[in-house]
Amino acid sequence: MTVYEALLFVHIFAAVLWIGGATLHVALMQLARRSGEREQSLTLIRYDDRLGPIYYLPLGLIVLAAGIGLVVEGDWGFDQSWVIAGLALLATAMIVGIAFFLPAGKRLDHAVEKYGPASDQAFAVVRQVEVVATLDLLLLYAAIFVMTVKP
Ligand code: HEM
């Protein structure tokens, strides 16, 4: 196995774990909302908050590091449009993850404390998290498209 193949394996494997996990999370959020049991949505968001720093963030950084390694090791350049697009999509997905989901978790805790777990106020935050998580996931799907088609 060459260094390039090893990097490609790590890059794709980490992307699969990251995007697969995020897809499942969004699917479970939708099931929980449709079930009408609001506490289930809260539990899912709390699990995802815990997974952020120990699962999603490290995997995103591994995708980034292995991607940079692939560009350096392979016959690619950082001026190629698909590499720039990959970097921009990954950075946006990670920045949204940190800048939106962390404060949203705190807003949710606050709403639950003040109005209760089944309140409309808490559920409004749940709904926001679901919408932003779906948009964030679309960025990651776009990154897979850009990586495979290399426009
Ligand atoms: C969320 C972000 C990303 C995802 C989901 C992703 C996913 C993938 C996938 C699935 C492949 C395999 C495509 C193929 O072999 O045809 C790939 C290849 C590659 N990626 Fe990414 N990638 C991401 C970000 C990046 C970034 C930021 C860089 C560069 C800094 C990068 C550089 C590369 C390179 C150089 C290849 C090898 C292409 C080849 O050998 O054909 N990727 N990526």
Helix or strand run (H / E) with residue 71: helix 57-73
144 lines ligand 1 (CB under 6 A): yes
Centre of ligand 1 to C-alpha 107, Å, is 35
Look at residues 64, 127, 128, 125 and name the one whose alpha carbon lies nearest to residue 95: 64
Share above pLDDT 90 across residues of the chain, in percent, rounded to a whole number: 85
38 lines ligand 1 (CB under 6 A): no
Contact 107, 49 (CB under 8 A): no
Atom of ligand 1 nearest to the CA of 15: 5
Protein residue with least CA distance to atom 7, ligand 1: 144
Atom of ligand 1 nearest to the CA of 76: 35
Query: In this predicted structure, what is the pLDDT of residue 92?
Result: 96
Query: In this predicted structure, what is the pLDDT of residue 66?
Result: 98
- What is the pLDDT averaged over residues 11-28? 97
Q: What is the pLDDT of residues 47-100, one digit of tens each?
A: 998 999 999 999 999 999 999 999 999 999 999 999 999 999 999 999 988 899
Protein residue with least CA distance to atom 42, ligand 1: 67
Close Cβ partners of 122 (under 8 Å, ≥ 6 residues apart):
38, 42, 108, 111, 112, 115, 116
64 lines ligand 1 (CB under 6 A): yes
Q: What is the pLDDT of residues 88-109, one digit of tens each?
A: 999 999 998 889 988 998 899 9
Does the pLDDT at position 129 exceed 90? yes
Is pTM beyond 0.75 here? Answer: yes
